[in-house]
Amino acid sequence: MTRAFSILGLRIGLRIRLIMGLIMGLIMGLLATAFALLPLIAHARIDNSVIVAQAEAAYAQGVELTGKDDDAARARFIESAGQFEQAIDIAATAPLLFNRANALLRAGDLGPAIADFRAAQARAPGDARIAANLAEARAKVTRSPGVPAPSGLERIGQLWSFSSELARWSVTVALLWAAAIAFILHRPAIGRSLMAVAMIVALTVTLDVTRRASMSTAVVLEPTTLRKGNGDGFETVLAETLPEGTECRMRESRPGWAQIELADGTRGWLHDTMIVPAR
């Protein structure tokens, strides 16, 4: 009788393990699917492939016209940048921001170009092409006061700068599916380990999104005067105007004005239309 109860208890235990494994596998599978669909849901308004193709065509025309008809070339680069902007409104990815920055740079709009290069680098910090083109754009800034030091979150983000957000998100999804399979195959220890690693990788993406949302970096659009207060009647802070492409941090805003801080700690006010945030 005791043996029969033992066998029955063993069978019940195995069935419970089987059911729990299936349930955990199902949960992990659903979680992995949700993670995989999040980027699609976030940008599911319209397909931007047609817009991107038009932007790329306009850029190619600009390159072809360069040296032959510079005014027409600039018009094509501006058109390309505007079309890339439409695509960015749908999905602000590093490649799209990078392409728009290149179009703006070729059009001679240095400030917005640097802002978009920075935005692209924030999403793909390990991309060598973005770093190289950003350095090229920065070299065009006359009398540059320097680049603001990275914030705490930006320094933390450098720990995983070797991998883009999209790559880490894909790894998260793959790990969650692997965890689901492990639970279904009654390998709960492996499943829990894979799930923990997936959550850590997902956390890096979350921190990147938080970092971008809290970024206060901005870029000066055109040469402008930095003043000691939020009005044209205040004295100037610097003897010379800030050059186009100057990178700074926004510290305070008032109607029509923004207080910024330069890389050397100098603070002052300028018209808020003279700067663009690095999104």
Residue type, 265: G
Mean pLDDT for the chain overall: 82
H-type alpha helices, the chain: 2-42, 49-65, 70-90, 94-107, 110-123, 128-139, 152-157, 165-184, 188-214
The Cα 213–Cα 61 span in angstroms is 35
Assess contact for 70 and 84: CB atoms under 8 A. no
3-state secondary structure of 2: helix
Rounded to the nearest angstrom, the gap between the alpha carbon of residue 188 and the centroid of all alpha carbons in its chain is: 35
Residue spans in the chain of domains classed CATH 2.30.30.40:
216-279
pTM: 0.70
C-beta of residue 261 within 8 angstroms of C-beta of residue 203: no
The 247-254 sheet, strands edge to edge: 267-271, 257-261, 247-254, 217-220, 275-277
CA distance 77 to 37: 34
Task: Judge whether residue 198 has pLDDT over 70.
Answer: yes
What is residue 24's predicted lDDT score, i.e. its pLDDT? Answer: 56
- Express each pLDDT in 164-186 by its tens digit: 777 888 888 888 888 888 877 77
CB-based contact 216:154 (threshold 8 Å): no
Q: Which residue has the tokens 């600009």?
A: 62
Structure tokens at 162: 């070797």
Q: How far is CA 55 from the centre of its chain?
A: 20
Which fold would CATH assign to domain 216-279? SH3 type barrels. (2.30.30)
Q: Which pLDDT score is estimated for 234?
A: 94
pLDDT of residue 259 exceeding 50, the answer is yes
Tens digits of residue pLDDT in 35-54: 555 554 444 445 678 899 99
